[in-house]
Homo-oligomer: A and B are copies of this chain.
Amino acid sequence: MTAPTSKRDYFYNYFEDNKDRLLSEYFEFLRFETISAEPACAGHLRACCAWLCRYIEKLGLAAKIWETGGHPLILAGNPPADPAKPTVLLYNHYDVQPVDPLALWKSPPFEPALIGDNIFARGASDNKGQCFFVLSALAAMLARDSSLPVNVKLLIEGEEEYGSSHMYDTLEQKKIDIGADALYIVDAGLRSPDEPAVTLGCRGIITLTIEATGSSIDLHSGEHGGTVYNPNHALVEILAKLRDSSGRITVPGFYDRVRPLSYDEANELCFDFDENQYFEAFGAKPTGGEIGFGPLQSAWIRPTVEINGISGGYAGEGFKTVIPAQAIAKVSCRLVPDQCPQEIGSLVADFLRRQTPPGITLKVTVEGGIGKPVRTRTSSKATQAAAQAYAEVFGKPCKYVLTGGSIPISEALAEASGAEIVYLGYGLPEDNAHAPNECFSISRIKQGMATIGRLLEILGA
């Protein structure tokens, strides 16, 4: 779909006319130290939430802070709802990742630094930047029309980077109405700054902790080596059995519920992958997938099992000839429709337990932080509107992609809202989200604003 870019102009002009004020407000938002994982930041999260609530009210919308038992969330919108108009639920979060290692930051993480087109700060991209362009799009429309073209519901939570543990319960227990026709998770991104793309789904996730214990104390590998079963060996032998030489996961039943791509998906998803560009960005070759699947197929439509962490004995400078009492691994599985996280967790745990060698005690724990896989339809109004809005902003056809990542709360939100779900956003791999020197750009604030604005206009037309 090609489109004229003229329809983005109102939003671009609004941004340019109000640039200084908007940037100053964005920077004010960024200065709140809203690290949800750090208990000491609780006050900052609360202050940020209150600031955000007032900010939304000043735009002319109704906003309410909901207590969750953790960091509060905001639900806002333009009541009273007009039943003739579709209802659009927009999801963002105001909490951010921790800032460690602080020494690697070139400027203080909570003092935004504007360098050229880029803004450096924790949360600049993920997700305060994306939240801010959503609010700015609404501001632009409200300034022009004193109304919005659709019924908007804003859900802005404070625990996304910490597992969203309280949000879903709160929505349910307090019977907060988030019913909608379309749900946009504005926490996604593009693969490249000049390639518009709507994200049609994400993978699910289940995580496990595996502890192999061989003795009550660390043992000398000379005196005891050969006598005892080294937990490091047990762990590598057990974990090595998770995949065969073709990269296929060997856990019985693991692939049973994997749904093949539909005709639409197979035709519409863009699996283009530039090996050289990837190597330049990450220093890695795309050799991790199963035989028969390309680099992005392996990351998007196939499930994985990844050892995220392994540790046993001493692996630092020098050498300690020890047989550790225990070795530990952290494993995550990324899942695709229609795999069930709990079921996969059990299958993997049972499989691992069956590999335990004699003399080793294996403890496998299926952890929390579960996320179901999500795949949305290209044919839905929600998807089509997003694709058209992107196409108008970029002046070129919009692609359809997936993400291999997981947004655990999204499936629950889709279910609770009854809405068609779509992931969108302007994050880029080079934003350093979750890393030192996180950044976003003024250009993308403008583009994001115009995309959200046009999206709502299209849906309300």
Contact = CB atoms under 8 A, between A and B. Distances in A.
Interface of A: 202-203, 205, 207, 214-217, 219-230, 232-233, 235-237, 239-241, 243, 278, 282-289, 293, 295-296, 298-300, 302, 304, 306-316, 319-325, 327-330, 332, 334, 357-360, 367, 369, 403-406, 429, 434
A75 B434 CA distance: 60
Nearest to A406: B222
A309 B299 contact: no
A332 B214 CA distance: 18
Given A223-B403, A405-B222, A307 B230 contact: yes
A388 B320 CA distance: 36
Contacts of A329: 315
A325 B316 CA distance: 16
A168 to B, nearest CB: 19
Nearest to A329: B315
Contacts of A217: 282-283
B313 A215 contact: no
30 contacts: A207-B319, A216-B282, A219-B282, A221-B308, A222-B404, A222-B406, A226-B288, A226-B293, A226-B300, A226-B334, A227-B278, A227-B286, A228-B282, A228-B288, A229-B285, A236-B240, A236-B307, A239-B240, A240-B240, A283-B325, A285-B358, A286-B359, A308-B313, A309-B312, A309-B316, A309-B322, A310-B312, A315-B328, A319-B367, A319-B369
Contacts of A404: 222-227
A310 B282 contact: no
Nearest to A357: B287
A81 B387 CA distance: 97
Contacts of A298: 226-227
A359 to B, nearest CB: 3
Contacts of A403: 222-223
A161 to B, nearest CB: 12
A335 to B, nearest CB: 11
Contact of A323 (B214, B240, B308, B405): B308
A239 B233 CA distance: 8
B306 A225 contact: yes
A17 B301 CA distance: 83
Contacts of A228: 282, 284-288
Nearest to A328: B315
A215 B310 contact: no
Contact of A287 (B220, B324, B334, B359): B359
A379 to B, nearest CB: 26
B313 A313 contact: no
B319 A287 contact: no
Q: Select the residue from A203, A227, A434 with max chain B CB neighbours within 10 A.
A: A227
A235 B311 CA distance: 12
A152 to B, nearest CB: 29
Contact of A296 (B205, B227, B357): B227
A222 B404 CA distance: 5
Given A224-B404, A307-B230, A308-B313, A359 B288 contact: yes
Contacts of A321: 205, 207, 306, 308, 332
Q: Which of A219, A232, A298, A312 has the most CB of B within 10 A?
A: A232
Contacts of A296: 227
A220 B284 CA distance: 13
A236 to B, nearest CB: 4
A451 to B, nearest CB: 21
Contact of A299 (B223, B360, B405): B223
A315 B326 CA distance: 12
Contacts of A357: 287
A328 B310 CA distance: 10
Contacts of A358: 285, 287
B359 A285 contact: yes
A147 to B, nearest CB: 39
A299 to B, nearest CB: 4
A215 B282 contact: yes
A51 to B, nearest CB: 29
A8 B319 CA distance: 41
A58 B334 CA distance: 73
A228 to B, nearest CB: 4
